[in-house]
Amino acid sequence: MRDPDGLLARAGVRGDPDVDQHFLIDDRVLDRLPGYASEVDADLEDVLEVGAGTGALTDRLCRTADHVTAIERDPDLVSFLRREFDEEIDAGRLEVLEGDALELDLPAFTACVSNLPYGVSSGIAFRLFPEKRPLVLMFQREFAERMVAEPDTPEYGRLSVSTQHYADPEIVETVPKEAFSPPPAVESAVVRARPRDPEYTVSDEAFFLRFVKALFTQRRKTLRNAVRNTGHISGLEDPEAVVEAADEELMSRRAGTLAPAEFAALCELAMERGEPG
């Protein structure tokens, strides 16, 4: 295995918190990450890594996957990766792509294992979820706890509903600040997300996610008032018609108490009665 500190030294870089650059250097954590995918029988034929950095995780993935595609946006690090891993690249086991994972056309992949840049972790995660592939991703701990939160808990919100719409997420490990160079300001957590179809049906996924977002902007208000007040976000032309058609007991609840399936049912009613634009 390549030593993370040795990779940093050969690359001649130091992490920069100002640009959200924290390199994972704990060998034990790095060694465990590919295994979290293997434990759920994820297909490791073509693994995607977002934010390869100096290649500490890339090295581990190349030893367990048939093929790895590593995305890195820093041109200097891309050049380093192509030098450091020239044998793996020549053997056809690794491809290094330069670019922003929020903008690149994502390559086909069977699983994704990544230490995501925290500043863009949400955007990248929600590019990955619709691909319906097993994911093992590092996030800030607070963000991860919101992803897996249950209804009627303080952490439960739009992120919880949106994540659980696509997958069964679980926190498999919390990671201390000292596992990174330089240490970030907060603890981290590894989330494993297993794709699944939801237990409910929504006829317009984009509207469903927008509707959930709208209602959580007024999470302290009853759903009755939240629906009425957020038509400009959800796109409902006639929110009052939705309130009138919905169950009165439901409308007296707050967004944070609804399970994803309940949001879906209300969303379908909103589409039917509220004339979304």
pLDDT digits (tens, 9 = 90+) for 235-249: 999 999 999 999 999
Asked if residues 241 and 270 have their Cβ atoms less than 8 Å apart, the reply is no
- CB-count exposure of residue 14 (10 Å: 0-12, 13-18, 19+): exposed
- Residue 48 in marked binding region: no
- Residue 72 in marked binding region: yes
Q: Report the C-alpha gap between 146 and 191 in whole angstroms.
A: 11
Angle (CA) 44-20-97 rounded to 5° is 40
Alpha-carbon Rg of the chain, whole angstroms? Answer: 21
Q: How much is the pLDDT for 117?
A: 87
Q: Report the C-alpha gap between 218 and 168 in whole angstroms.
A: 26
Closest to 250 measured CA to CA, from 239, 268, 240, 263: 263
Q: How much is the pLDDT for 21?
A: 84
Q: Report the C-alpha gap between 274 and 30 in whole angstroms.
A: 49
Q: How much is the pLDDT for 249?
A: 97
- Residue 256 in marked binding region: no
Q: Where are the alpha helices (DSSP H) in 129-204?
A: 141-147, 158-166
CATH class belonging to 205-273: mainly alpha
Reduced to 3 states, what is the DSSP secondary structure of residue 189? strand
Closest to 223 measured CA to CA, from 235, 212, 238: 212
Q: 206: which DSSP letter?
A: H
Cis ω before 182 (30° cut-off from 0): yes
Cα 26 to Cα 56, 122, 174, 176, 181: the distances in Å are: 9, 24, 13, 10, 9
- Residue 22 in marked binding region: yes
* Residue pLDDT tens, the chain, 277 long: 999 999 999 999 988 777 778 999 999 999 999 999 999 999 999 999 999 999 999 999 999 999 999 999 999 999 999 999 999 999 999 999 999 999 999 999 999 999 998 889 999 999 999 999 999 999 999 999 999 999 999 999 999 999 999 999 999 999 999 999 999 999 999 999 999 999 999 999 999 999 999 999 999 999 999 999 999 999 999 999 999 999 999 999 999 999 999 999 999 999 999 887 6
86: tokens are: 């020239």
- Residue 115 in marked binding region: yes
Q: Report the C-alpha gap between 167 and 46 in whole angstroms.
A: 20
Residue in this structure with the two tokens 């840049």, named with its chain if needed: 117
Q: 120: which DSSP letter?
A: G
CB atoms within 10 A of CB 13: 18
Q: Which CATH number fits domain 4-195: 3.40.50.150, 1.20.1050.10, 3.40.1350.10, 3.30.56.10?
A: 3.40.50.150
Domain range annotation of the chain: 4-195, 205-273
